[in-house]
Amino acid sequence: MLYETIATPVGLLTAEIGGGFVRRLGVFPAGVSDPDAGDRILAEGLRDEIHAYFHGERRDFSLPVSLSGTYFQRAVWREIQKIPFGETCSYGEIAKRLGNPGASRAIGSACRVNPVLILIPCHRVTAARGGGGYVLGAAAKEYLLSLEARQGG
C-alpha cells in the first residue's frame, strides 16, 4: 500500500493506494507505505486530478477505485456518482431511485462511510430542505458545493 497526503482547501486528505486502485481518500491515519511503481504513478495521477478539481479544471475523475462495502452501500455510491457536477440530490431522492423510499437514513449512513471522498461526491447529497451532514464538516460541504456552482455546474 501507498499512503499519500494531499493538501486541499477543505483540509489534508490521506489517500490509500494499492494494487493499482485508489482504495480510500479521506481523513484517517496513514499506514506504512510499501508501494510498487504502479501505485506511485496512480498517486501522482490522484494528486493531479484532485488539484485540477479544486482549480476548476476537472469535473470528474478517471482513476480506478476499489470500493469495499456492503451491497447496499455500493449501490448508494454508484447512484451518488450519477449526480451531475454542480447539482444536488436529497437522501430521500436517492432512496427512491434505489427502490426503497424509506431508506433516507440508510443513505446518510452510506454517505458517512464513503471510502473515497470527492471521487464519490457525497457532498452533493443533501437533506430535503438543503444542508445535511458531511464527514469533513458543514463548512467543507458548503465549500465544495460553492466551488462547483462557481465553476458553472
pTM of the model: 0.92
**Active site members:** 122
| Domain identity same for 92 and 49 | no
Kindly state the average pLDDT of the residues 12-37. Answer: 92
> The domain containing residue 25 runs over which residues?
2-54
Backbone angles phi and psi of 60, in degrees to 5 = -145, 175
DSSP string, 121-133: -GGGEE-TTS---
**DSSP bridge partners of 10:** none
30-41 confidence digits (pLDDT tens): 888 888 888 999
147 has pLDDT over 60: yes
153 has pLDDT over 70: no
143 has pLDDT over 90: yes
68-114 confidence digits (pLDDT tens): 999 999 999 999 999 999 999 999 999 999 999 999 999 999 999 99
In a domain, 61, yes or no: no
**What are the C-alpha distances in Å from 145 to residues 39, 41, 52, 89, 118?**
30, 29, 16, 12, 11
Half-sphere exposure of 143 (CA within 13 A, CB side): 14
115-141 confidence digits (pLDDT tens): 999 999 999 999 987 778 899 999 999
148 has pLDDT over 70: yes
Number of domains in the chain: 2
| Domain identity same for 100 and 33 | no
* pLDDT for res 112: 95
